[in-house]
Amino acid sequence: MKEILYLMVLVEVQSSLKHISDTVHEIETEAALMVSDTRNVKILKTELLLTRVRNPKKH
């Protein structure tokens, strides 16, 4: 049976970039995320969904 699952992932980072939006952008464009097959489940596709962190609130 083919299904679509949305998995939530916690990622803790340390970055030399000044702004969180730059950190997020770099992760979204350069990082790789892997989910491997199991004995009973074959992974057909993975996609890193883009966040909405672009213009953080300015205090």
pLDDT tens digits for 15-51?
999 998 899 989 989 999 899 999 999 999 998 888 7
Task: Dump the DSSP string for 5-48.
Answer: -----------SSSSHHHHHHHHHHH--------SS--------
Using CA atoms, how far apart are residues 31 and 48, in angstroms rounded to an integer?
Answer: 9
> What pLDDT shows up at residue 48?
85
* pTM of the shown model: 0.67
